[in-house]
């Protein structure tokens, strides 16, 4: 999903310091001498303040001696141990853990590339998602940097360019977008526009010789998705769809545990993604721009999760749609969708999405021996995974220690790695095409009231590239 609620005609996914009045005067004891005398810390400052007030009325006895400790010479201190110094391997600095193994340990970050070696990204569309999530995500990125902006609002683009150190000449509007071909700093174009505009700008970016990262859903029709894939193939550039959850650590932990059958065979997948939309004039509620309502916007998270957790493609879908008849928000698009998927292994998925409910974002997997529950499964942050299972004769709820990471930085770093090392992205255009074909089947089932049978697809992860390393490298 891309973001935009601007009015842009092209719809952007737009106290003095210590000693300041002298040190000790006669018998008075200043805050500085207090610090020197006793080495007091924060807890002693309150006492020091009280003593300062009493100084005006109280004089210390003339024979009072204040013992000042001599300064410690650095040369007399023991030298550092190797565990404190760390080690350098290539361009990476690493450290041995200071905790016992029982405390657990977070994965070390991948090497931080210097600015001149990072992959340059151009952001197309400066709406909510781009300005509030994607651009700040570069602050956590280890391999990518923003080098260009494309916007229909020159004033907005100038402000944002100045904030991120982007050259004025690297700011384009939609009409002059094709000049990006002459900018060697731009290696990747990130499309963050309304869904119906994805096709045009993916194809234009490919013709400019730039690799493309495109927000989900990939497009508003499967035929458009195919044209986008073909255009990138002909231009010899990479195309990746921004399925950020596939790079998020909690989702990866869940998928890995289920696929390894840590707690037996998978049986059911359940997911809900809903929110109560406002702003009746936003582009998401206009079918010509969005392609649909809650299904392609938030429902696609549930659909994609069921697919990447199982690794399979469904052989049958059945769906129902419910839309309030008198709600002006839903004159063109649906409010709520409930749909079921049946997979070749026998796994069933029960998935729901809505534009008319209070925030609900959960993902569950039921196996023969455990129940996985991920709360806040689909937002930009806040994921929490709990695994309920038996240990001996007792029930246990285990919460794995999983580090929170910026999802946008992870996906951009993965694509940067693919560009630098000529790898196939984990979520290429084919992944977006498969979701779009399933969205069309879901709409068909809801329209006809009948289940839609799908052509079986053999193998696992057939629409995905290799799994990235931890840290989405």
Task: Cite the active site residues.
Answer: 216, 301
Helical spans, DSSP H, in 133-221: 135-137, 154-163, 198-207
Rounded distance, CA 12 to CA 201, Å? 12
Helix 222-235 with 429-448: angle, nearest 10 deg: 170
Q: How far apart are CA 42 and CA 399, in angstroms?
A: 36
CA 448 vs. chain centroid, Å, equals 37
Give the torsion sign (CA, 141, 250, 191, 328): negative
The two three-digit tokens of residue 93, written as one number: 């600095």
Write down how long the chain is.
473
What is the C-alpha separation between 143 and 113, in angstroms, rounded? 6
Phi, psi of 175 (to 5 degrees): -70, -40
**Closest to 456 measured CA to CA, from 340, 305, 318, 344:** 344
Contact 143, 113 (CB under 8 A): yes
CA distance 164 to 291: 33
CA atoms within 13 A on the CB side of 66: 18
Our CA dihedral for 171, 175, 176, 180, rounded to 10 degrees, sits at 80
211: Cβ contacts below 8 Å, ≥ 6 apart: 187, 188, 189, 237, 238, 239, 240, 415, 419
Please spell the DSSP secondary structure of 87-121, one letter per residue: EEETTEEE---SS-GGG--PPPPPPPPPGGGSEEE
Count of beta carbons in the 10 Å neighbourhood of residue 402: 18
Short-list 195, 181, 180, 221, CA closest to 440: 221
* Cis amide linkage into residue 217, ω under 30° from 0: yes
């Amino acid at each position: 999903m891309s973001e935009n609620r601007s009015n842009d005609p092209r719809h952007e996914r737009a106290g003095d310091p210590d000693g300041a009045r002298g040190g000790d005067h006669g018998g008075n004891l200043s805050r500085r001498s207090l610090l020197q005398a006793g080495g007091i810390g924060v807890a002693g400052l309150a006492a020091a303040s009280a003593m300062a007030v009493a100084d005006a009325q109280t004089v210390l006895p003339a024979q009072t001696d204040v013992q000042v400790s001599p300064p410690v010479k650095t040369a007399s201190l023991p030298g550092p141990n190797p565990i404190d110094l760390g080690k350098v391997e290539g361009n990476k600095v690493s450290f041995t853990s200071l905790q016992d193994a029982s405390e657990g340990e977070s994965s070390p970050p991948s090497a931080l590339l210097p600015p001149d070696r990072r992959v340059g990204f151009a952001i197309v569309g400066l709406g909510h998602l781009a300005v509030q999530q994607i651009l700040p995500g570069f602050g956590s990125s280890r391999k990518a940097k923003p080098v260009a902006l494309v916007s229909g609002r020159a004033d907005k683009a100038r402000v944002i360019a100045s904030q991120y150190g982007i050259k004025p000449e690297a700011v384009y509007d939609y009409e002059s977008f094709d000049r990006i071909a002459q900018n060697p700093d731009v290696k990747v174009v990130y499309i963050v526009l309304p869904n119906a505009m994805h096709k045009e700008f993916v194809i234009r970016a490919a013709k400019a010789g730039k690799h493309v990262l495109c927000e989900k859903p990939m497009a508003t029709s499967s035929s458009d998705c195919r044209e986008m894939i073909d255009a990138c193939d002909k231009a010899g550039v990479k195309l990746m769809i921004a399925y950020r959850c596939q790079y998020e650590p909690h989702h990866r932990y869940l998928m890995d545990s289920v696929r390894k059958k840590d707690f037996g065979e998978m049986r059911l997948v359940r997911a809900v993604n809903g929110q109560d939309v406002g702003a009746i004039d936003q582009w998401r509620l206009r079918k010509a721009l969005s392609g649909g309502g809650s299904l392609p916007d938030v429902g696609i998270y549930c659909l994609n999760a069921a697919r990447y957790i199982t690794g399979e493609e469904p052989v049958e879908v059945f769906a129902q749609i419910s839309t309030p008849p008198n709600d002006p928000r839903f004159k063109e698009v649906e409010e709520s969708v409930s749909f079921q998927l049946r997979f070749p292994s026998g796994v069933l998925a029960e998935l729901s999405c809505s534009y008319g409910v209070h925030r609900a974002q959960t993902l569950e997997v039921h196996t023969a021996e455990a129940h996985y529950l991920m709360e806040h499964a689909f937002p930009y942050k806040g994921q929490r995974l709990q695994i309920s299972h038996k240990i001996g004769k007792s029930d246990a709820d285990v919460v794995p220690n999983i580090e929170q990471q910026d999802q946008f930085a992870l996906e951009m770093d993965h694509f940067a790695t693919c560009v630098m090392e000529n790898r196939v992205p984990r979520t290429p255009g084919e992944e977006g095409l498969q979701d779009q074909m399933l969205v069309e089947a879901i709409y068909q089932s809801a329209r006809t009231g009948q289940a839609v049978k799908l052509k079986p697809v053999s193998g696992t992860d057939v629409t995905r590239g290799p799994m990235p390393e931890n840290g989405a490298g």
